[in-house]
Amino acid sequence: MSRLDELIAELCPDGVPYKTLGELGYFYGGLSGKSKEDFTNGNAKFITYMNVFTNLAIDTDISDLVRIGENEKQNTVQYGDILFTGSSETPDECGMSSVLTEVSDEKFYLNSFCFGFRLKDNNLLLPDFSKYLFRSQNIRKQIKRTANGVTRFNVSKKKMEQVVIPLPPLPVQQEIVRILDNFTELTAELTAELTAELTARRKQYEYYRNEIMQLKHWHYRKTITEMSLGDIYDFQYGKGNVIPTNGGEYPVYGSNGIVGTHFEYNSEDAPVIGHIGAYAGIVNWGYGKHFVTYNGVICKLKNNSVHSRYAYYLLLLQDFRAQAKSGSQPFVSYEILKKPRVLIPPLEEQKRIVAILDRFDALCNDLTTGLPAEIEARQKQYEYYRDKLLSFKEVTA
């Protein structure tokens, strides 16, 4: 019998109580009344949308700053608070959580597109336990059901109050944290070599792609044309009256890939660029006929002298993510997309380059084979084990 089994047999053999979040604490909002200028000369630390979205835990080594006036009233984040992203383009990405797991005398503020949850009794949940619990499949399913929207889905705090969580004894929580911390570290070690190899391969591919597309060795220099991306594409934000999630034969692309299916399409065999949110600036290829939501940018090729895939690789050369304007939430504008100047060789040379780069792209990014598939399998194994540990029988009265 494992130590965890012993603790459960001793402390909660008949199950554990389940409570709603509304019974356990209260929600509070992020920053309010802030303008873009408040984020340029900040004097206080604030937790960004991406920090909450990406990380299980928030540490106190934060570099993002916001201007807070001397007598300004804003909510601050405290040790143990569970933080949530308030909106996203799909329910699957709504309400992603992170936890402030370090004690500090500093004040921390929260992005306006996020909100926090604070327990009335800090002895009910260990912060390190919360960071795993609120990312578990059972809790995530409940949180996703609280989200509604059209162009973007927004979490309802009122509905979030009805989310039910288990409350195992603290020694059981401590043991689960110990197991998951060790398993997380072990999984990271097991995947580190695979990830390092894949990263090296992708860097090699990107270096080769950048070198070949700079046309340094092209011997007919006089045949090269220079133009802007705005000369090649018409950029248009996708439609966002509704975000279809099922039905129809055409895939729906949001800011970072397929998010559903639809009966209509508004783009065909063309790039899709993330417009707003966590994936603003990411470039994907939309295969076949597809529908692009407002969270993505439709790229309509308008120049017959440029091969469609060559134009796509020109987009990949640009670092739109770094240029995405950020205050409360990142986004890319038409101005950012149109501005870059690029080099265009004759069409036959474009086709030759595309044939080479397409082979490299498949080798590095195909999630169904090779290193990407193995890394994905490791992650699924980890999530399965985590969810098993965080599933408890409910005690009956």
pLDDT digits (tens, 9 = 90+) for 140-154: 999 999 988 766 788
pLDDT of residue 243: 60
Helix (H) or strand (E) holding 370: helix 370-389
Residue 142: phi and psi, rounded to 5, are -65, -45
Once rounded to an integer, what is the mean pLDDT over residues 233-257?
79
Cα–Cα distance for residue pair 52/48, rounded to 1 Å:
7
**Residue 273 contacts residue 229 (beta carbons within 8 Å):** no
Once rounded to an integer, what is the mean pLDDT over residues 20-24?
97
Q: For residue 162, is pLDDT > 70?
A: yes
Cα–Cα distance for residue pair 202/209, rounded to 1 Å:
10
Q: Which of 78-87, 122-131, 187-196, 270-279 has the lowest mean pLDDT?
A: 187-196
The residue assigned the tokens 């508004």 is 266
Q: For residue 389, is pLDDT > 80?
A: yes
Once rounded to an integer, what is the mean pLDDT over residues 279-307?
92
Q: For residue 81, is pLDDT > 90?
A: yes
- List C-alpha distances in Å: 376 to 55, 364, 366: 18, 14, 11
User: Between 28 and 325, whose confidence is greater?
Assistant: 28
**Residue 340 contacts residue 281 (beta carbons within 8 Å):** no
Once rounded to an integer, what is the mean pLDDT over residues 311-319?
94
pLDDT per position as a tens digit, 194-230: 777 777 777 888 888 888 888 776 666 678 889 999 9
Q: For residue 68, is pLDDT > 80?
A: yes
Q: For residue 232, is pLDDT > 80?
A: yes
Q: In this structure, which CATH number among 3.90.220.20, 3.40.50.11780, 1.10.3720.10, 3.40.50.2300 belongs to the domain 225-344? A: 3.90.220.20
Tokens of 208: 């080769």
pLDDT of residue 374: 76
**Residue 60 contacts residue 107 (beta carbons within 8 Å):** no
Q: Which of 182-196, 203-217, 250-264 has the lowest mean pLDDT?
A: 182-196
Q: What is the percentage of the chain residues whose pLDDT exceeds 70?
A: 92
Q: For residue 372, is pLDDT > 60?
A: yes
pLDDT of residue 221: 66
**Residue 98 contacts residue 57 (beta carbons within 8 Å):** yes
Q: For residue 240, is pLDDT > 80?
A: no
**Neighbour count for residue 90 (Cβ, 10 Å):** 21
> Mutual orientation of helices 370-389 and 170-213 as an angle, nearest 10°?
170
Q: Which of 163-172, 179-188, 365-374 has the lowest mean pLDDT?
A: 365-374
pLDDT of residue 335: 92
Q: Tell me the CA end-to-end span of the chain in Å, nearest whole number.
A: 27
> Mutual orientation of helices 347-365 and 308-316 as an angle, nearest 10°?
60
Tokens of 127: 């912060």
Query: Taking the CA atoms of the chain, what radius of gyration do you get in angstroms?
Result: 24
pLDDT of residue 250: 87
pLDDT per position as a tens digit, 340-357: 999 999 999 999 999 989
What are the residue boundaries of the structural domains of the chain, listed by start? 1-10+168-214+348-397, 17-167, 225-344
User: Between 275 and 220, whose confidence is greater?
Assistant: 275
Q: Does 17-167 match 225-344 in CATH topology? A: yes
Summary mean pLDDT of the chain: 87
Residues whose CB falls within 8 Å of the CB of residue 175, separated by 6 or more in sequence, listed in order:
3, 4, 7
Return the C-alpha torsion angle 256, 180, 198, 337, nearest 10: 20
Q: Which of 36-45, 137-146, 244-253 has the lowest mean pLDDT?
A: 244-253
- List C-alpha distances in Å: 293 to 66, 152, 256: 31, 10, 11
pLDDT tier at 246, thresholds 50, 70, 90: low
Q: For residue 23, is pLDDT > 90?
A: yes
The secondary structure of 176-195, three-state, reads HHHHHHHHHHHHHHHHHHHH
What is 17-167's CATH number?
A: 3.90.220.20
Instruction: Work out the angle at residue 162's Cα, subtended by the Cα atoms of residues 160 and 164, and round it to the nearest 5 degrees.
Output: 105
pLDDT of residue 100: 92
pLDDT of residue 247: 66
